[in-house]
Structure 1
Amino acid sequence: MKFPHSRIWALLAVTVVVAACGQNQSAEKPPEPGDTAVARVNGHAVWASDVKREAVAQGLISEGEPLDISSDLFRQRLDEVVDQKLLAAEALKRKLDKDPVAQRRLAAARERILGDMLVESVVEKAVNEDAIRRLYAEQQKLSKRSEEIRARQILVASQAEAESIKKLLATGASFDALAMERSTDQATRFNGGDLGYFTVDVMPEAYAGALKTAQKGQLVGPFATEGGWAILRVEDKRMEEPITLEAARPQIVRFLTYDQVRDLLEKLRGGAKVDMLTSKTQDLPGEPEEPASAPPVELQGSAPAAAPQPAPATANPAPGAPAKK
């Protein structure tokens, strides 16, 4: 797993590389097995891996993703790498690297790159398939599955109209047909009032209360809701499907990465003597507060939480509640 550098770090890194190339011709050997020279700048090779690294640094491709050397994306990045090398060579020619400010900036860039490389190596060893599967299994043990309900609804303006529809349903009238003919909910009337699968916690309170003890095939209501009077028919009940490994993988990888970086920094700080020479500034009235740092994923126990449930609806569920098919 790689951490892309910003464009300025890439430019400074190329400056360092160009300087090294001027001192050591062995850098002309392919830096990676099977690498291909795709250009030469003043006699020095530009490698396909250099171009790919630039594309990764700009976030245009992910680490490990192939980049076709015949593609427009590759040629555009190649032009940029050539420009970087020309700029760096000219900077050396003008002895800008001897300037104290430039040396400090180059040293800072070197430290940043070395730090990133350390993090990459630590994360690459720790964030592997076994660790991902182990954390996923722990999450499944901790997670609680909710019951999902699939229901249809007919929404009308008055209680009297709702009661008359309920009598028609009791005599065998088609729920789907009555929903299409009589329901005022434009989001569901044309699909027979189908609300899809949902958990009661995402529904308005009136729906949650009415469906709390309802069984499959049961008519519920009529009951008052914000949009009028509702009649429901419970089509199905099932346990919520757990999040799959592939769906949880990005969250797990982010959490493991964060965990490894945090542990590494805590270990390094614990073994070093760091003296802060500046005092904490007093808070000024109206000064914006800095947001607290937090893990990149929600956690449950020691594992990343499953996909978050939608917030409870506050209006009629038909137009607002997410339906699971």
Structure 2
Amino acid sequence: MSLVVARFRPPGPLLAVLAAASLALAGCQGRERSETPPEAGDVVVARVDGVPVWTSDVKREAVAQGLIGEGEPLDPASEPFRRTTDEVIDRRLLAAEAARRKLDKDPAVQRRLAAARERILADLVVDATVTGAISEQAIRTLYQEQVRLSRASEEIRARQILVATQAEAEAIRKLLASGGSFEALAMERSLDAATRFNGGDLGYFTVDIMPDSYEAALKPAKAGQTIGPFQVEGGWALVKVEDRRPEQPITLEAARPQIVRFLTYDQVRDLLEKLRGQAKVQTFLKTTPDVPGQPREPATGPPAPQDEPEGKTEGTKP
């Protein structure tokens, strides 16, 4: 069973976004000398021109780099912690140097700083909205609903022997009819490298995921029956059906990440619909009608040249 929920890549972890923006913002904040721990239990692990570097600063950077997950511990005595501390110090020094050179006064840089601030604030409101909505009860409720709605089907467990020719397959079928071991013959004769060394075991599967030739042969087969040979891609197959059972639903733990993505998407979508409904949003994008056969500009290509306004003659040649 697979959950019928939308695929959605939720916004990146808030801490990762904060870390990504911190280089730009550090120039504005680098002279703050507050000795108040920003988080409970925080301790100073370094100072840069008297400004403290806290344990939480280092952990935030480690999360941004993917060294640890959000909320996971990072031993201050470990090499990754020491290395990340050095990187935070280097970033502080570079940011301070950028401020000394007044790079943060450039209008283009100020726009980037403003965009970083917007991203941080946007993630804050998303985080606050989603945190209350994605509860264990909400996850279990959606899981039970999807289990109830899923279409019941049947799983088959089978083994196969794959050989190159029909004649060889017929010879193996006769050996099986006279008492030969399917598992032993699969290991000895089968060409399927993926299954031959485990006795041809295909595991449990539903017939709808199999090639048409397998689906047609297996649908009417009963447990314990050996069918074939029949032609398949790559040769001829003999298949032994070992078991048939109702398809087992996906477990809650296996479905949990997908459910969380869906609930996150659902909450963010509702929030954005509400905000768009309350705001006056105008867009001024030009659309070009599709012309059959017209080459399309690559998504990563340079922007198309803008049409010059009517009447503009400056810089033109006669």
What range is the shorter-chain TM-score in?
Answer: 0.7 to 0.9
Amino acid at match of 1:90: E
Q: CA deviation at 1:11?
A: 0.5
Name the SS for the 2:238 alignment partner. strand
Partner of residue 146, structure 1: 153
Say whether residues 1:262 and 2:269 are aligned partners. yes
What whole-Å deviation, never above 9, does each CA across 1:160-198 have from its counterpart, x for those lacking one? Answer: 554454344334333333434444545444433332222
Q: Which amino acid in structure 2 is aligned with residue 173 of structure 1?
A: G
Q: Distance in 2 between matches of 1:164 and 1:93?
A: 85
- Is 2:296 the counterpart of 1:287? yes
SS in 2 for 1:91: helix
Q: How far apart, in 2, do the equivalents of 1:228 and 1:99 lie? A: 69
AA in 2 matched with 1:287? R
Q: CA deviation at 1:232?
A: 2.2
Unaligned runs of 5+ residues in structure 2 are 1-11, 301-318
Contact 2:161–2:189 at 8 Å: present in 1 too? yes
**Does the CA-based 8 Å contact 2:18-2:120 persist in structure 1?**
no
Instruction: Please state how far the C-alpha of 1:30 moved relative to its aligned partner.
Output: 0.2
Q: 1:119 to 1:226 in 2, by over 3 A?
A: closer
The offset of 1:273, in angstroms, is 0.8
Take 1:160 and 1:208, find their aligned partners in 2: how far apart are those partners? 23
SS of the aligned residue for 2:283 comes to: coil
Unaligned 5+ residue runs, structure 1? 292-325
What residue in structure 2 maps to residue 103 of structure 1? 110
Give the TM-score normalised by the residue count of structure 1: 0.77
CA change 1:178–1:106 in 2 (3 A) is closer
- Contact 1:150–1:195 (Cα < 8 Å) also in 2: yes
CA offset at residue 279 of structure 1?
3.2
Count of aligned pairs: 286
| Residues 1:127 and 2:105 are matched in the alignment | no
Task: Give the whole-Å Cα distance in 1 for the aligned partners of 2:45 and 2:122.
Answer: 29
The 5 A counterparts of 1:3-152 are 3=14, 4-5=16-17, 8-18=20-30, 21=32, 25=33, 27-152=34-159
Structure 1 residues 256-300: Cα deviation after superposition (integer angstroms, max 9, x where no partner): 222222222221111111222443356683224769xxxxxxxxx
> Given that residues 56 and 62 in structure 1 are in contact (C-alpha distance below 8 angstroms), is that contact kept between their aligned partners in structure 2?
yes
Deviation at residue 37 of structure 1 after TM alignment = 0.7
Q: 1: CA distance between counterparts of 2:104 and 2:172?
A: 84
Q: State the distance in 2 between where 1:192 and 1:100 align.
A: 69
Report the Cα offset of residue 152 of structure 1. 2.3
Once residues 109 and 220 of structure 1 are traced to their aligned partners in structure 2, the CA distance between those partners, rounded to angstroms, is 64
Identity among equivalent positions (%) equals 64
Find the counterpart in structure 2 of residue 236 from structure 1.
243
Q: Counterpart of 2:13 in structure 1: which amino acid?
A: K
Instruction: Flag the 1:163–1:42 CA change in 2: closer, same or farther, 3 A.
Output: closer
Letter matched to residue 5 of structure 1: V
Deviation at 1:151, TM superposition (A): 1.7
RMSD: 2.8
Where 1:28 maps in the other structure, the secondary structure is coil
Residue 144 to residue 16, structure 1, CA distance change in 2 (3 Å): farther
Equivalence for 2:3: none
CA distance in 1, matches of 2:103, 2:238: 78
Alpha-carbon separation, structure 2, partners of 1:231 and 1:153: 6
Q: Counterparts of 1:178 and 1:100 in 2: how far apart (Å)?
A: 75
Give, in whole Å, the separation in 2 of the partners of 1:233 and 1:282: 57
- Aligned partner of residue 17 in structure 2, secondary structure: coil
1:173 is paired with a residue whose SS is coil
Give 1:294's aligned residue. none
Residue by residue over 1:86-114, the C-alpha shift from the partner in whole angstroms, topping out at 9 and shown as x without a partner, is: 23333344444444444333222222211
For 1:251, which of 233, 258, 270 is the aligned residue? 258
- Cα distance in 2, alignment partners of residues 15 and 71 from structure 1: 29
What is the distance in 2 between the residues matched to 1:226 and 1:93? 69
Instruction: Give the CA deviation at 1:117.
Output: 1.3
Distance in 1 (CA, whole Å) between partners of 2:109 and 2:277 is 32
Q: Secondary structure at the match of 1:223?
A: strand
Cα 1:222–1:281 shift into 2, 3 Å: closer
Q: Give the corresponding residue for 2:13.
A: 2
- The counterpart of 1:273, out of the listed 262, 280, 284, is 280
TM-score normalised by length of structure 2: 0.79
SS in 1 for 2:227: strand
Q: Which amino acid aligns with 2:63?
A: V
